[in-house]
Amino acid sequence: MVLSEMSVNPFGDFRNQCMRLLSETLKESFPSLNLQPPALDIPPSSKFGELSSSICFDLAKRIHRKPLDIAYQLEGKAEVKADLFPLIKTVRAEKPGYINFFVDLPKLASLTLCSVKTLNFEYGYVRVEKPERIIVEHTSANPIHPMHIGHARNSVLGDSLARMLEARGHKVTRHFYIDDVGRQSAVTAYGCKLLGGLKPEGKPDHYIGAVYSITSCMLEIHRLKKAIAEARKHFNRVEDLQMLQRKQDGWISVAANLKERFPDLFDKILEGFSKVEDPEFKVDDMLRRYEMGDEEVKSLIRGISEVCIEGFKQTLSRCGISIDSWDWESIFVWNGDVDRCIKALRNTSFTFERNGVLELDAEKIAEFLGLKEVFGVRDGQEIPSLTLIRADGTSLYTTRDIAYSIWKFKRADRVINVIGMEQKLAQLHLKLALCALGYVDEAKKLIHFAYNHVRLPGKKMSGRMGQYVTFDELLDEAVAMAYDEVSKRSPSLDEGLKKRISEIVGIGAVKYALVETDPLKPVIFTWDKVLNFERNSAPYIQYSHARACSILRKANVTVNGDPGLLKERIERDLIIMISRFPEIFVDAVENLKPHLIADYANSLADKFNTFYASFPVMKAKPLELSAARIMLVDAVRITLHNALSLLGIEAPERM
């Protein structure tokens, strides 16, 4: 076998050679057995090689021999053939019965460093053989207030997924679903109407958020006043009365806070609110009229939503996050798609009415079509029904999402919805509704990419109460803190460059903090971790990249490097790690795990900094060794850049 000078997956080539050698050896040793392709794992320590197989334990059960005896037999036969596989240095049996494969490091080093240099900013991005059309729907924040830190995790995860899938070769479009039909939009519109129309001041989404919070607060106080008055009529409802009064006190406290923050806006809305006898009816009427397509209400709510979305676009653009399609929920109501879905569901045996409300029997669908195991529902778990239409005839979010999902599948082979884990039941309902309509294959390709909350110690968030930490505030604070750190570390930098680097570092720090944790685990957001330049953060990885760039700027290579001279333990670790990047990438994309890329980038930065602290690069002797180490530094630079790029994080050349 001839070793190529370039590979899209150097360690993958080594793995394939090991699999071929082991398969051929097994076939020769046990020709009568029907054996599956052997699995190869990364051993816990490099003293056991770079890859290891436990197949001897399975064989031992079948042929009633000791695993170690089988391992020694395979070792003997494999060693004879190993010369035919250039990346394999040797094969060894290891107690109690493993087969371990050791790489020919000089050859892997040469292959890896040449491949990185040749592929440059495409290195690691292994292309899929059969590309798919994939829609990634992410963020989809309600257009009623600014994006907050919870939305930020959604945006960063969704953007990372889209980047990774694109790098894999898929045709990806990023969609944002504008929830303009819900009651919250009607509340905001009612507040704007009380103000005499839409008159944004400052960043538009922040203005809309203030209007929504103030109006929502006043509606809640009004509702509680009515409930308290009713409770006072009944002497046996003392506990209810006390509970309602406590709630009212809480909302009055919220109102005082909102008045302090937005005095003019608060007073104007209050003045209009005090003149209306039944504001709840006005909001509900506005919601009904919007679903019916009333032109006056359409103009108002659409206008408010568009203003708020303009603010979203500014925030996302600052983070380098783009949206390809802004999909209005109302379109699917007005064009009749939602009604057609409801009518089609009525014609199945899976709907029923309860107290004038149309329900979808999700449990019956799952049982009848045998879908519980398919969609990960536990045995014995009963799925509650889904309300399709309220008693007043208005539709619900999930009902409208059915029509939207069918629309998406006309444009994609696979759909990924980046939505909080609390929407697990809603997403299951959606899949079962699609199955009831005959879209079983599509439902199986509808992926709920769930994620957990972001927690800021000492902070409680509520959009209705106007209590949240906005994405914008988070970015501003991160950039300001990054500026202080950059100024400390590089005081001689030009002021403009300091600000540019601070923007890159601050935004990168926030994005990394939101993506580096497993999505199903909560993120505990603390600044001492987010902006730590010494370990596991975007600034740490970015600083490592900048360090590599600094070395390369100073390098003066006059001879060709020989990768075979890279024999130190940390050099070996770096070569192996860089060679494995394509495998890590494929694993992360196929299993939709962007945090694996973040973890890899941090580990590579760790090893590079250990190398930098331990050995000279430009002053290394002989010159060929210096040149080889410069090649290694360049490979680290490119690989760190490519890993960060998948997360939407810039890799600065100076810090």
pLDDT in tens, 169-181: 999 999 999 999 9
- Which residue would you say has higher pLDDT here, 90 or 82? 90
Asked whether residue 467 carries a pLDDT value surpassing 70, the answer given is: no
Q: Is residue 369 in some structural domain?
A: yes
Q: What is the pLDDT of residue 380?
A: 86
Distance CA 23, CA 238 (A): 78
Distance CA 13, CA 508 (A): 33
Same domain, 489 and 596: yes
pLDDT band at 230 (very low <50, low <70, confident <90, very high): confident
Q: Is residue 119 in some structural domain?
A: no
Average pLDDT over residues 58-64: 92
Q: How many domains does the chain have?
A: 4
Q: What is the pLDDT of residue 461?
A: 54
Q: What is the pLDDT of residue 286?
A: 93
Q: What is the pLDDT of residue 589?
A: 98
Give the CA count within 13 Å in the CB-facing half-sphere of 371.
25
CATH number where 509 lies: 1.10.730.10
Q: What is the pLDDT of residue 655?
A: 82
CB 112 within 8 A of CB 124: no
Q: Is residue 651 in some structural domain?
A: no
User: In this prediction, what percent of the chain has a pLDDT beyond 90?
Assistant: 83
Same domain, 616 and 479: yes
Closest to 638 (Cα-Cα) out of 124, 253, 237: 124
Same domain, 393 and 502: no
Q: Is 293 left (phi over 0), alpha (psi -120 to 50) or beta?
A: left
Of 455, 489, 514, which marks where a domain is finished? 455
pLDDT tens track for 181-216: 989 999 999 999 999 888 888 999 999 999 999 999
> Strand 325-328 vs strand 133-137: parallel, antiparallel, or unpaired?
unpaired
Q: What is the pLDDT of residue 93?
A: 96
pLDDT band at 628 (very low <50, low <70, confident <90, very high): very high
Burial category of 380 from C-beta neighbours within 10 Å (exposed 0-12, middle 13-18, buried 19 and up): exposed
Asked whether residue 459 carries a pLDDT value surpassing 80, the answer given is: no
Q: Would you report the helix, strand and coil content of the chain in percent, each value rounded to 5?
A: 60, 10, 30
Of 403, 421, 455, which marks where a domain is finished? 455
Reduced to 3 states (helix: H, G, I; strand: E, B; else coil), residue 138 is: coil
Same domain, 521 and 638: yes
Q: What is the pLDDT of residue 465?
A: 58
Distance CA 205, CA 606 (A): 40
Crossing angle for the helix pair 397-409 and 424-436, nearest 10 degrees? Answer: 60
Same domain, 605 and 493: yes
pLDDT tens track for 309-318: 999 999 999 9
Q: What is the pLDDT of residue 558?
A: 67
Q: What is the pLDDT of residue 200?
A: 84
Same domain, 276 and 410: no
Of 455, 481, 500, which marks where a domain is finished? 455
Distance CA 302, CA 556 (A): 61
Same domain, 349 and 294: no
Q: Is residue 403 in some structural domain?
A: yes
Q: What is the pLDDT of residue 593?
A: 98
pLDDT tens track for 254-295: 999 999 999 999 999 999 998 898 999 999 999 999 999 999
CB 509 within 8 A of CB 529: no
40-49, 289-298, 450-459, 536-545: which range is least confident on average?
A: 450-459
pLDDT band at 33 (very low <50, low <70, confident <90, very high): confident
First to last CA, the chain: 45
Reduced to 3 states (helix: H, G, I; strand: E, B; else coil), residue 121 is: helix
For Cα atoms 338, 340, 344, give the angle at the middle one, nearest 5 degrees.
120
Q: What is the pTM of this model?
A: 0.93
Same domain, 382 and 289: no
| Residue 281, both tokens | 């009816």
Same domain, 399 and 496: no
| Residue 388, both tokens | 């399709």
pLDDT tens track for 550-595: 999 998 776 788 999 999 999 999 999 999 999 999 999 999 999 9
CB 177 within 8 A of CB 137: yes
Q: Is residue 203 in some structural domain?
A: yes
Site of tokens 């892997």: 108
Calculate the CA dihedral of residues 203, 208, 211, 212 and round it to 10 degrees.
Answer: -140
Distance CA 643, CA 594 (A): 10
Q: Which domain holds residue 359?
A: 133-179+328-455
Q: What is the 3-state secondary structure (H, E, C) of 314-365?
A: HHHHHCCCCCCEEEEHHHHHHCCHHHHHHHHHHCCCCEEEECCEEEECHHHH
Asked whether residue 464 carries a pLDDT value surpassing 60, the answer given is: no
Distance CA 527, CA 477 (A): 10
Q: Is residue 240 in some structural domain?
A: yes
Same domain, 59 and 148: no
User: Within the chain, how many helices (H) and strands (E) appear?
Assistant: 24, 13
pLDDT tens track for 118-132: 999 999 999 999 999
Q: Is residue 623 in some structural domain?
A: yes
Q: Is residue 477 in some structural domain?
A: yes
Helix (H) or strand (E) holding 388: strand 386-389
Distance CA 143, CA 639 (A): 38
Same domain, 628 and 494: yes
Average pLDDT over residues 624-651: 97
CATH number where 416 lies: 3.40.50.620
Average predicted confidence (pLDDT) for the chain: 93
Same domain, 423 and 477: no
